[in-house]
A and B are shown apart, each in its own frame.
Chain A
Amino acid sequence: MDAAVFIVSAVVVLTGAAGVLVARNPVHAALFLVQTLFGVAVLFVLQDATFLAAVQVIVYAGAVVILFLFVIMLLGVDRAEDLGIEPIAGQRSVAAIVGASMLGLLLTVLLVGVDGPTGARGANAALGGAEDNTRRLGEALFTDHVFAVELTALLLTVAVVGAVVLARRVRGPLQPMPVVTVASATGSDDASATGSDEATATGDDPAAEADDEGEAG
């Protein structure tokens, strides 16, 4: 029974996650995200963590994703990014390789470490009845982890302050982007390095200024 539920919900989670990545329409992506989050909630139930399952549904699926949807709708759904071009050459193949190796790594860890680090089977039913769950969670949060909870408040405040600061209207004209000059000297001995550094420095200066003026105008 457990296994069957797990497999079904795992499939739900994974297809949802894949859907988020694949979907071209942002709204669809958000909906796939809801699917994943629901799947995770089921997994929580399976672990007897009923409170977390409820929070998962209410907070994530109910609030966070809805906010996402609002933003997407406000910004307009018709604008889709052109994914055909690669901004950095070769980044996809590199990403594929890195991703594949990551997956390989994780699979190795999972397959090699099936029995858990201590060699004993995992056990998760020690929490007692489902009604105990919320109480224990609350207790943990307000005893062992009370400092973390308080800190979260501070973290959220910082985030809000930051968001407000960044979203503020800019006063005055923007400064142009200066041109960064990197010395081209790669000579192995000091003689050529010093010499050509100075050369580039003086040589590049007028060019940089000209560029600045060009952008400003």
Chain B
Amino acid sequence: MSALAPTAVLAASSAVPFAVLPALVLVPAVGALLVACLPRRRPELLKLAAVTTSVVVGGMAVWLLSGFDVDHGADLQFVSSATWMADLGISWTLGVDGISLFLVVLTGVLFPIALLAVDPGHDDRAYYAWLLLLEAGVMGVFLALDLMVFFLCFEVVLVPMYFLIGRWGHGNRAYAATKFFLYTMAGSALMLVGILALAFLHADAVGGPVTFDLVAIAEAQAVDATAARWIFAAFALAFAVKVPIFPLHTWLPDAHTEAPTAGSVILAGVLLKLGTYGFLRFGLYLFPEASHFFAPVFLTLGVVGIVYGAVVATMQRDLKRLVAYSSVAHLGFIVLGTFALNTEGIEGGLLQMVNHGVSTGALFLLVGMVYERRHTRQIDELGGLQKSAPVLAGVFTVVMLSSIGLPGLNGFVGEFLVLVGAFNAHRWFAVVAAGGVILAALYLLWAYQRVFHGPAEGDNATMPDLRLREGLVLAPLLALIVFMGVYPKPVIERMEPAVDALVAHVEHHVDGFTEPTSQFGSEVEPGHGDDDGHGESDDHGDDH
């Protein structure tokens, strides 16, 4: 617990050779333009250009990881700023801290994989251009330190995603795409009003010119509590739709199921995180008091989401839909951790964001590969795939176990931290949520059994196994799954200062609130090392 120091001192970050953050946003956007200018009839050239662009972005994101100053994890680093609308005080302020760092990296890693893994089949040029634009928008959301820039990017990702689902999706794609667009657009409509209200009220209260600067507004906390609660509600609605939190989730199964494989991967891996990230950066940080006030609501909805997602997933006949509903459950965990309002919970939530991106992204890739071979996703029509495609089955096992949260794989660390955090804050929520973990094991293992075990008949028996290219695409994800399960320390130590500072910020600004730490704090406090130990030993056990 590092004192009550302000979360984000705009640290003059260590030697930045070039404006890496603007580049993260601009390179994919320029790449999209470039792709749009290439000849339509050269798919391989288009793919080359798109993949190169995304690999460059991914490289920069990973470089960011190495350049990130671990000792100042709580500070915003690599900050760059450029005025955009002088009248309204809107400027392109970008920065990264321990909270956004790994989401940026995740984005950088997932996009090349999604681009490499699947070919669109038709209209290649538009497909690649939209995907790259999507990447630019997502990067913008994770890096933005200006409320209005955040909103712009948050909104603009809808357009590429809409076209990706609508033009390259399956089945009822027009319906799914429209539903996705409208839900999210309607959700964020009020957020714009909220942002404006916040900026003007802040300007009134501190008596300066209007500014949309996140740090300035969050540190001043000048808006009175009632107004802040209303504005938080407007923000929360937008995030809740995006996450999605339980009653607002209905767009998600449709969008996931009908989206093309790359779309599902990005949607699950990155886009859902826009909402949960929003809750952290623009919920807890911006409105500590209101977040604390509304926390019970979100905790409840989070737990409901966990159980509901798990139960509904159990009943799905479509493999992809099952994975989609499992996302609802996983995101419930993230929300639960976030609103536990203590270090373990938030850290767990953050880790879970990354984990879910990796493992659900991989799951969607695998389901896509099965679909590509068998042209069906119905669990009933599949069966015994283990015999014809042992490698695929093996990879699926690992990814699935990570999604279940098996110790030794990445999912465990995040889920465990979330449960610890929630247990410390609100015991019964944690107990119910833990039930969700069991349900997750149930539906995933059952689905696995039906798809991969049993006798293989007809086309199932002759299904080709994983190709080299597919294996190479999956390899980095598998590596991440294992690495983060076995040795999460590098990740956690970069997150921890920022999360601590965030919790301190909440404590500082909420009267009478102290971080709900463990009743058996002494055991959990050094606990992270402990987790690792557990992870390792269990991992060995699993290898048998």
Chain A residues near B179: list those with CB within 8 A: 190-191
The interface size of chain A toward B, counting residues with CB under 8 Å, comes to 4
Give 1 or 0 for each of B410-441: 1 = CB within 8 Å of chain A CB. 00000000000000000000000000000000
Whether, in the assembled complex, B397 has its beta carbon less than 8 Å from a beta carbon of chain A, the answer is no
B255 to chain A minimum Cβ distance, whole angstroms, is 13
B183 to chain A minimum Cβ distance, whole angstroms, is 8
Rounded to whole angstroms, the CA-CA distance of A191 and B250 in the bound complex is: 11
Rounded to whole angstroms, the CA-CA distance of A195 and B175 in the bound complex is: 8
B461 to chain A minimum Cβ distance, whole angstroms, is 39
Q: Which residue of B lies closest to A194 (CB)?
A: B175
A199 to chain B minimum Cβ distance, whole angstroms, is 13
Chain A residues near B81: list those with CB within 8 A: none
Give 1 or 0 for each of B168-189: 1 = CB within 8 Å of chain A CB. 0000001100110010000000
**Interface residues on chain B, size class:** under 10
Chain B residues near A195: list those with CB within 8 A: 175
A-B contacts counted at CB < 8 A amount to 10
Give 1 or 0 for each of A172-205: 1 = CB within 8 Å of chain B CB. 0000000000000000001100110000000000
The residue among A190, A191, A195 with the most chain B CB atoms within 10 A of its own CB is: A190
Chain B residues near A190: list those with CB within 8 A: 175, 178-179, 182
Chain B residues near A194: list those with CB within 8 A: 174-175, 178
Rounded to whole angstroms, the CA-CA distance of A191 and B182 in the bound complex is: 12
A201 to chain B minimum Cβ distance, whole angstroms, is 13
Chain A residues near B178: list those with CB within 8 A: 190, 194
Rounded to whole angstroms, the CA-CA distance of A171 and B179 in the bound complex is: 49
Rounded to whole angstroms, the CA-CA distance of A195 and B174 in the bound complex is: 10
A185 to chain B minimum Cβ distance, whole angstroms, is 13
B189 to chain A minimum Cβ distance, whole angstroms, is 15
Q: Which residue of A lies closest to B174 (CB)?
A: A194
Chain A residues near B175: list those with CB within 8 A: 190-191, 194-195
Q: Which residue of A lies closest to B175 (CB)?
A: A194
A51 to chain B minimum Cβ distance, whole angstroms, is 53
Rounded to whole angstroms, the CA-CA distance of A194 and B179 in the bound complex is: 10
Chain A residues near B182: list those with CB within 8 A: 190
8 A Cβ contacts from B179-232 to A: 179, 182
B residues adjacent to A (C-beta < 8 A): 174-175, 178-179, 182
Given contacts A190-B182, A191-B175, A195-B175, 7 further A-B contacts (CB under 8 A): A190-B175, A190-B178, A190-B179, A191-B179, A194-B174, A194-B175, A194-B178
Provide 10 A-B residue pairs closer than 8 Å at the C-beta atoms, listed in order of the A residue. Answer: A190-B175, A190-B178, A190-B179, A190-B182, A191-B175, A191-B179, A194-B174, A194-B175, A194-B178, A195-B175
